[in-house]
Amino acid sequence: MPRPKSELTNNRRCVSIQLTPAQHAEWKRIGGPKFLRILLAQSMEGARIKSGHATGYLGKTLKEVA
């Protein structure tokens, strides 16, 4: 039986930017995609709390990534 598709494999979107070498080095230092995923999740959680639809605690902070 095939496994159900997750949110990540079913609805993928690609985000792309151009960086200077110094910006790229900083991007790698702060965690790259991992940092961005945590930042986006925290932003979404904040929006849910403000709208009154809080569903849970993320359990990670941006300080844990750095």
Report domain extents, the chain: 30-66
Alpha helices of the chain — where are they, by DSSP H? 7-10, 21-30, 33-51, 62-65
Q: For residue range 17-48, what is the model confidence (pLDDT) as tens digits? A: 999 999 999 999 999 989 888 999 899 888 88
Overall pTM > 0.75: no
Q: What's the burial of 15, exposed, middle or buried (CB within 10 Å: 0-12/13-18/19+)?
A: exposed
Give the percent of the chain with pLDDT over 90. 24
**Mean pLDDT across the chain:** 76
Q: What is the pLDDT of residue 18?
A: 95
Q: What is the pLDDT of residue 66?
A: 47
pLDDT at 65 over 50: no
